[in-house]
Structure 1
Amino acid sequence: MADITVYNLPGCPFCAKVTSKLEELGLEYDRIDVPSAHGKRTEVEAVSSQTGVPVLSDEAHDVEGMPESDDIVAYLEETYGNAA
């Protein structure tokens, strides 16, 4: 099991942006695909208090339920990118 978990909706361009960055950085991660209906996204809601995706958790850095693709990509670059 990887330290990083991303909650993902297949076909979501914002989720693809995050998974592309994870792959670009060569990071291991677990992907949890969520249902398309917001009302059925109970697992992601429990982690982030909202039902939108993508959402990222990083146990190694005590990050739980980070929303917003731009924020996640910036976090990944800062934490794991060349500047890290």
Structure 2
Amino acid sequence: MTDPQITLYRLQACPYCERVVRTLDRLGIEYRSRYVEPMHSERNVVKRVSGARSVPAIVDRETGVTMSESANIVEYLEGTYEDAGAAGGA
């Protein structure tokens, strides 16, 4: 089994993170969750991958995209993967 192409950096009980999780689940996208430090100043792993310490953040190995901010992530996921599933029947 291969690793999921998307890694989601998130916090426990974070409503913005949950918004991204709901979108990933709705689109049927496999992903790996990495829970990060609650203290903003200690989120060095997120800073290394995305350039900022904010969550949620995703890394999509399939497309090479790394981004944060839940609204941007949801828009990206829908734009990139929503049509992919429907393309076969169109």
TM-score (norm 2): 0.87
Which consecutive segments of 4 or more residues in structure 1 shift more than 2 A? none
AA aligned to 2:21 is T
For 2:74, the equivalent position in structure 1 comes to 73
2:20 maps to amino acid: V
User: What is the rounded CA distance, in whole Å, between the counterparts of 1:68 and 1:38 in structure 2?
Assistant: 15
Equivalent residue runs for 1:2-81 within 5 Å: 2-64=4-66, 66-81=67-82
Identity within the alignment, %: 42
Aligned length: 83
CA distance in 2, matches of 1:5, 1:79: 16
Measure how far apart 1:50 and its partner are.
Answer: 1.0
Distance 2:83 2:5 in 1: 19
- Note the C-alpha offset of 1:7: 0.3
**Tell me, what secondary structure is at the counterpart of 2:9?**
strand
Cα distance in 2 for residues equivalent to 1:45 and 1:82 = 31
- So what's the TM-score if we normalise by structure 1? 0.93
Runs of 5+ unmatched residues, structure 1? none
